[in-house]
Amino acid sequence: MSSDKRVGMGPVPTSPEMYINEKQVEGMSILKKFGWKLVCIRRPGFGHALTVLKNSQERAIGVLGEDGILRLTPELKIRQAS
């Protein structure tokens, strides 16, 4: 059994802007107006963060690219809090 490295870290950081770039901030701002919500920011030890959004009305999930464009990824599975 391995230990979870995210102990004490929630799926959404207190300051998401610290983990995403300016284009992603702009894209997320626009998407929020259409019902998209930030689900999590996957923060690997190295490399780029993965920003995941969900539209509660359509139950669609997407990844916000570094260019600020949302790409729908229906195959993406989100772990539910226990």
* Domain presence at residue 43: yes
CB atoms within 10 A of CB 59: 8
Domain that holds residue 48: 18-72
pLDDT of residue 27: 96
pLDDT digits (tens, 9 = 90+) for 10-67: 667 677 787 889 999 999 999 999 999 999 888 777 777 789 999 988 789 999 999 9
The predicted pLDDT at position 81 comes to 62
Q: Does residue 61 sit within a domain?
A: yes
Does residue 5 fall inside a structural domain?
Answer: no
What element of type H or E holds 51?
Answer: strand 50-55
Number of domains, the chain: 1
Residue pLDDT, tens place only, 8-20: 566 676 777 878 8
User: What one-character DSSP code corresponds to residue 45?
Assistant: S
The verdict on residue 37 lying in a domain is yes
